[in-house]
Amino acid sequence: MVVANATQNLMQQAKEMSNNSTGSARHHNLFTKAIVLTLSLLALIGANASANSRLTLSNPEFDFGFVPTNSDVFYRYWLHSTGSSALEIEWTDASCPCAVLPLTSKTVEPDDSVGLELVFTSGRAAGAITRKPYIKTNADEEPARTEFTAKVVPGDTKVVEPLGITPFRADLSAIGRFHQDTAAIVFYNNSELPMELSVVYSYPEYFSVKLPETIAPQKSDTCFVILNAETPVAQGAFTKSFTVEAALRRVGDNSLLSRFTIPVRRKYSPAK
């Protein structure tokens, strides 16, 4: 307010002297000062707004586990605006040509959230991968860091210890009169211990996953991926994924964990 009043006073004085030729030099100085003060005011307002913006990231680190080659797998980072001013997302950098982190919204109002979807394309990669995407906002001079990891295996892999998976993907395509709204995947426990399975990340707006809770040693069971017929987004073509965690339970030992991310694809071409 003080800067604004001072700017207004200087502009008024400059206006009054503009009709006086002897005061042209002083008029120029006053006008210059008014511009400087105006720019200072704008900078101050911007700084205060940024100072009141705050970013909170939910689960900024994610492990895809085993991923088949030539596949796209997905994870959504959630950005929460927890300050008193709007959070501005300035840019993102996936840190690798193998991944993208597209912006769908650049402004997040206070107490609101936005999902930022990571797409990792395994391509012909092999082995362990770690990447650390950046998210730059007005909440901090330095960008926020996230992280994802994966272990890429050949796409025709049927056994990834300790879990066998056939096939290592799900197809829910609708081509002409052929509609496959349910895909079956056989899981095989290759270990000598009971295996507990759980879904750690999925896209329920597109499909549901019916997973056996436990598989006995050296036994198999079937997982079903079922198209969500209630939501419009699931009716057309899409590519998503879901991540499963397999736990081998020993007495007093819960550390034997493995993850597997299974691509889900739906091609859509209605009958003519």
Q: Are residues 201 and 239 in the same domain?
A: yes
Q: Are residues 248 and 212 in the same domain?
A: yes
- The residues facing 199 across adjacent strands are 244
User: How many domains does the chain divide into?
Assistant: 3
* Average pLDDT of the residues in 233-240: 94
Mark which of 153, 172, 204 sits at the end of a domain: 153
Q: Are residues 35 and 15 in the same domain?
A: yes
Looking up residue 187, the CATH number of its domain turns out to be 2.60.40.10
Mark which of 120, 153, 186 sits at the end of a domain: 153
Cα separation of 37 and 249, whole Å?
A: 68
Give the model's pLDDT for residue 35.
52
Q: Are residues 12 and 33 in the same domain?
A: yes
Is 272's pLDDT higher than 80? no
pLDDT in tens, 81-138: 999 999 999 999 988 889 998 888 889 999 999 999 999 999 999 999 999 999 999 9
Name which of 108, 114, 119 is nearest 83 in CA terms. Answer: 108
- The residues facing 30 across adjacent strands are none
Q: Are residues 188 and 246 in the same domain?
A: yes
Q: At what angle do helices 24-51 and 2-17 cross, to 10 degrees?
A: 160
Is 150's pLDDT higher than 70? yes
Report the C-alpha dihedral over residues 202, 132, 168, 116, rounded to 10 degrees. Answer: 30
Q: Say if CB 199 and CB 209 are below 8 A apart.
A: yes
Mark which of 153, 168, 201 sits at the end of a domain: 153
Q: Are residues 112 and 189 in the same domain?
A: no
Q: Are residues 211 and 112 in the same domain?
A: no
Helix (H, G, I), strand (E, B) or coil at 8: helix
Starting at the earlier edge strand, list the strands of the sheet with 55-58. 55-58, 72-81, 113-121, 99-100
- Burial bucket for residue 220 (CB in 10 Å: 0-12, 13-18, 19+): middle
Structure tokens given for 141? 């001079």
What is the chain's percent helix, strand, coil content, to nearest 5? 20, 50, 35
Q: Are residues 42 and 117 in the same domain?
A: no
Q: Are residues 186 and 86 in the same domain?
A: no
Cα separation of 82 and 41, whole Å?
A: 25
Domain that holds residue 90: 55-153
Q: Are residues 64 and 144 in the same domain?
A: yes
Give the model's pLDDT for residue 217.
93
Q: Say if CB 271 and CB 176 are below 8 A apart.
A: yes
Give the model's pLDDT for residue 155.
78
Total-model pTM: 0.78
Q: Are residues 82 and 24 in the same domain?
A: no
Give the model's pLDDT for residue 32.
54
Q: Are residues 196 and 266 in the same domain?
A: yes
